[in-house]
C-alpha cells in the first residue's frame, strides 16, 4: 500500500481526521482506519485498498474487515471499503451478493485565485461565525439531523453526529480549523440554519484544507445561505489558516456540485467506495 502522502488528494485529506482522532495502520495491500470513539461512523472505520476489487475478492476483503474492524468494535456492523485508484465501472458479483453497493464521489479543489464572490449578498438578518465548541455542538447535531431528510436512521445518526462534533471540537482546540454556521435572527433568538467545517492537514508539508458536511436546514434553503457560507469559509481558509488548496467531496449527481463550482471549485478526480449499511439504516449513499 502506498504511503499516505502518495494517496490521491481525496483520500489523503479524508485521513486528516482519522490520523488526528483515530487510528491509521498500514497493511501489505491496504490501510486499516478505525475511530474507536465513533464505531458507527462508516467512513471512520473502513479498509482502504489501492486498487479496485475483482471478482473473487469479496471473501478475503470481508474476512479482513471482520478481523480488523468488526471483531474489535462490535458496534461497527457495517462494511466499508475505500478504493484509491480508478473506481470500478461495476461492482463484482460476489460483493453484490452480500448486499454491498458501489458509490462514487467527485473530488473538487480550489486555489485562492479561483475563489469567486456570490452573486447576492447575505441579508443583514443573517450572520456567519465559527461555532463555540463544545457549547454549541448540540445545536449543530440538531441541525445536521434535521438536514438529513431521512437518509439515515435518525436515532443512530444523532449519536454519530454528536460524536463527530466532539471530534471536530478537539481539532478546533488543537488549532486545526473550525466549525462554521449561518445564524438567523428569529423572534425566538439566534438559530443555526446552515453549517460546515473546514480543517487543515496538520501532518503534511502542503497547506491543504478539507471541508466537512455542508448543509442547510430544509426550511431555509434556496436563499443563497450555503453559497455565502462557502465563500466566507474559503476566505477564512486562505486568509486566516494560510491554506494553499481547499478540497471538498460531493456526490457527482448532487446539485451541491454546481453550488461548489459557482464559488470556484473545479472537479479533480473521482473516488470509489463500497458500502453495506447495517440492518435498519437508510439506503441513501
Q: Cα 222 vs. chain centroid, distance in angstroms?
A: 22
- Assess if CATH 3.40.630.30 describes domain 110-267: yes
Q: Quickly list DSSP for 196-249.
A: EEEEE-SSSSS-EEEEEEEEE-GGG-SSSHHHHHHHHHHHHHHHTS--SEEEEE
Task: Give the residue extent of every domain in the chain.
Answer: 4-106, 110-267
d(C-alpha 127, C-alpha 2), whole Å: 43
> What pLDDT does 88 receive?
85
* Overall pTM surpassing 0.75 (yes/no): yes
pLDDT per residue over 124-182, tens digit each?
999 999 999 999 999 999 999 999 877 888 899 999 999 999 999 999 999 999 999 99
Take residue 233 and report the three cell numbers written for it: 469559509
pLDDT band for position 205 (50/70/90)? Answer: low
Amino acid at each position: 500500500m502506498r504511503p499516505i502522502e502518495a494517496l490521491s488528494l481525496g483520500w489523503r485529506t479524508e485521513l486528516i481526521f482519522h490520523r488526528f482522532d483515530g487510528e491509521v495502520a498500514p497493511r501489505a495491500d491496504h490501510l486499516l482506519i478505525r475511530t474507536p470513539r465513533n464505531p458507527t461512523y462508516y467512513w471512520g472505520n473502513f479498509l482502504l485498498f489501492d486498487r479496485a476489487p475483482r471478482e473473487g475478492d469479496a471473501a478475503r476483503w470481508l474476512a479482513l474487515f471482520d478481523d480488523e474492524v468488526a471483531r474489535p468494535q462490535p458496534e461497527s456492523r457495517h462494511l466499508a471499503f475505500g478504493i484509491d485508484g480508478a473506481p470500478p465501472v461495476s461492482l463484482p458479483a460476489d460483493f453484490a451478493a452480500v448486499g454491498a453497493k458501489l458509490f462514487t464521489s467527485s473530488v473538487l479543489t480550489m486555489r485562492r485565485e479561483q475563489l469567486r464572490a456570490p452573486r447576492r449578498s447575505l441579508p443583514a438578518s443573517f450572520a456567519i461565525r465559527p461555532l463555540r465548541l463544545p457549547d454549541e455542538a448540540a445545536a449543530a447535531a440538531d441541525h445536521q439531523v434535521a438536514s438529513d431528510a431521512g437518509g439515515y436512521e435518525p436515532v443512530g445518526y444523532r449519536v454519530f453526529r454528536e460524536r463527530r462534533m466532539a471530534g471536530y471540537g478537539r481539532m478546533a482546540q488543537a488549532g486545526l480549523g473550525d466549525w462554521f454556521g449561518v445564524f438567523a435572527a428569529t423572534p425566538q433568538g439566534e438559530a443555526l440554519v446552515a453549517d460546515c467545517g473546514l480543517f487543515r492537514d496538520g501532518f503534511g508539508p502542503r497547506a491543504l484544507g478539507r471541508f466537512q458536511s455542508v448543509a442547510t436546514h430544509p426550511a431555509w434553503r434556496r436563499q443563497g445561505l450555503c453559497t455565502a457560507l462557502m465563500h466566507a469559509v474559503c476566505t477564512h481558509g486562505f486568509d486566516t489558516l494560510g491554506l494553499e488548496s481547499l478540497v471538498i467531496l460531493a456526490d457527482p449527481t448532487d446539485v451541491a456540485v454546481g453550488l461548489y463550482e459557482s464559488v470556484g471549485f473545479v472537479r479533480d478526480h473521482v473516488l470509489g467506495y463500497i458500502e453495506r449499511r447495517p440492518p435498519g439504516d437508510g439506503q441513501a449513499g
